[in-house]
Amino acid sequence: GNSVTQMEGPVTLSEEAFLTINCTYTATGYPSLFWYVQYPGEGLQLLLKATKADDKGSNKGFEATYRKETTSFHLEKGSVQVSDSAVYFCALHTGGFKTIFGAGTRLFVKA
């Protein structure tokens, strides 16, 4: 079946460090891929998305490229800030009603 696997956290970085959070997926067909972010005490919100192979989603300095050959959608940011501290969820959608979410990766950024 369809599934999403993302790296376990927590990830702890110093401010201005480079961030990578790995995400790989298993899916039939051609899924759309998403990264959602959850700030403390809030619900999830969409961070970025990509709908086909080789697409790059980007938002707020975050980027992720849809790699069909490696079934991956890794999240990157060149210079993290304290305000980026949150939980990040990778997700996929293959059609129909449901989105499959990964387990989430908690990021702590120290000043």
14 exposure class (CB count in 10 Å sphere: 0-12, 13-18, 19+): exposed
Alpha helices in 1-111 (DSSP H): none
40 in contact with another protein (CB under 8 A): no
43 in contact with another protein (CB under 8 A): yes
Cβ(73)–Cβ(50) below 8 Å? yes
**Whole-angstrom distance, CA of residue 16 vs CA of residue 11:** 14
5 in contact with another protein (CB under 8 A): no
Give φ, ψ of 83 to 5 degrees: -70, -10
98 in contact with another protein (CB under 8 A): yes
The stretch near another protein (CB under 8 A) out of 13-21, 61-69, 76-84, 89-97 is 89-97
Binder of another protein out of 32, 64, 84, 109 (CB under 8 A)? 32
94 in contact with another protein (CB under 8 A): yes
61 in contact with another protein (CB under 8 A): no
Look at residues 64, 61, 63 and name the one whose alpha carbon lies nearest to residue 79. Answer: 61
Binder of another protein out of 14, 46, 53, 61 (CB under 8 A)? 46
42 in contact with another protein (CB under 8 A): yes
